[in-house]
């Protein structure tokens, strides 16, 4: 399976004109990117005008624009987003992937929440093929990539996918799928189920930044979540305050 996934990533990456990877580290690298202003990756597109260079430290809040600037001027290409709105239709991942795409990057949002809110927000049918059918071998990688109805962003809907933390084979396949998408796109954004944060270590590595997204005051509102993350050794994260689009192009 790994050979096929690698081939998919290489082929699709060539289609997009993806340059070779230049990875460094997770949230710290994303934060450093917001400080450099005109780093070596700025050739990949104009950064959002509302995303000036700024200094952000671990646990502080960032805007979506600042996060985009960090991606452009740093080396992080994988973001995992946990959204904290009480209205589960709202998604930080949708806003981030749309802003990254608008800034000139080829991006895909991968929904691992097990729900259909992301698909609905991006104008897709709830029954379209997605990560669950991919994991079950019922769909190919290209079958599950859809176009956001409102922007040029791509999305892989959940289609009911759930991570089973005790299944090592499934975990290995999940990492391979995510690596294939990372090879194909300049940036990948994964929306993760906030009720399954104990399974986050399956997909986190030194090349991935974790973003906790929510309404103003998300850092305060996320006390229980941050405690749960700390209990499994995850402390390096960013807080993104946002209105969190629920439907349409309002990202």
| DSSP output for 70-118 | HHHHSS--EEEEEE--SSTT--HHHHHHHHHHHTT--EEEEEESSSSHH
φ, ψ for residue 58 (rounded to 5)?
-55, 130
Of 41-45, 56-60, 129-133, which has the strongest mean pLDDT? 129-133
Structure tokens at 216: 């103003």
Say how far apart CA 72 and CA 99 lie, in whole Å. Answer: 12
Q: Are strands 238-241 and 208-214 parallel, antiparallel or unpaired?
A: parallel
Report the range of poorest mean pLDDT among 11-20, 79-88, 121-130, 174-183.
Answer: 11-20
Host H or E run for residue 34: helix 27-36
Do 89 and 168 meet the contact criterion of CB atoms below 8 Å apart? Answer: no
Name residues whose C-beta falls within 8 Å of residue 233's C-beta, 6 or more positions apart in sequence.
201
Say how far apart CA 46 and CA 68 lie, in whole Å. Answer: 10
What is the per-residue pLDDT across 63-109, written as a single tens digit (0 to 9) for each? 888 999 989 988 889 999 999 887 777 789 999 999 999 999 999 99
Comparing 19 with 65, the larger pLDDT belongs to: 65
**Average pLDDT score, the chain:** 78
Say how far apart CA 10 and CA 229 lie, in whole Å. Answer: 34
φ, ψ for residue 66 (rounded to 5)?
-65, -35
Report the range of poorest mean pLDDT among 104-108, 117-121, 166-170, 217-221.
Answer: 217-221
Q: What is the pLDDT of residue 206?
A: 83
Say how far apart CA 67 and CA 80 lie, in whole Å. Answer: 12
What is the per-residue pLDDT across 149-161, written as a single tens digit (0 to 9) for each? 999 999 999 999 9
Say how far apart CA 208 and CA 106 lie, in whole Å. Answer: 17
Q: HSE of 34 in the Cβ direction (CA atoms, 13 Å)?
A: 23
List, in order of start, the domains of the chain with CATH numbers: 49-241 (3.40.50.300)
């Amino acid at each position: 399976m790994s050979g096929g996934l690698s081939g998919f990533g290489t082929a699709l990456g060539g289609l997009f004109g993806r340059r070779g990877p230049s990875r460094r580290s997770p949230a710290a690298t994303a934060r450093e990117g917001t400080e450099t202003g005109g780093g070596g990756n700025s050739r990949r597109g104009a950064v959002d005008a509302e995303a000036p260079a700024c200094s952000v430290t671990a646990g502080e809040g960032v805007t979506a624009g600042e996060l985009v600037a960090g991606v452009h001027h740093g080396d992080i290409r994988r973001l995992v987003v946990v959204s904290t709105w009480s209205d589960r239709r709202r998604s930080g991942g949708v806003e981030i992937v749309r802003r990254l795409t608008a800034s000139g990057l080829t991006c895909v949002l991968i929904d691992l929440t097990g729900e259909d809110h992301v698909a609905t927000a991006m104008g897709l049918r709830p029954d379209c093929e997605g990560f669950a059918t991919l994991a079950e071998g019922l769909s190919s990688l290209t079958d599950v990539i859809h176009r956001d109805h409102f922007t040029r962003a791509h999305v892989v809907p959940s289609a009911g996918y759930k991570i089973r933390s005790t299944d090592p084979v499934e975990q290995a396949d999940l990492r391979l799928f995510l690596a294939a998408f990372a090879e194909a796109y300049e940036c990948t954004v994964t929306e993760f189920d906030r009720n399954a944060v104990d399974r986050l270590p399956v997909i986190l590595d030194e090349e991935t930044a974790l973003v906790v997204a929510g309404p103003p005051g998300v850092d305060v509102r996320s006390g229980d979540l941050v405690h749960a993350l700390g209990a499994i050794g995850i402390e390096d994260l960013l807080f993104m305050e946002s209105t969190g689009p629920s439907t349409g192009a309002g990202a």
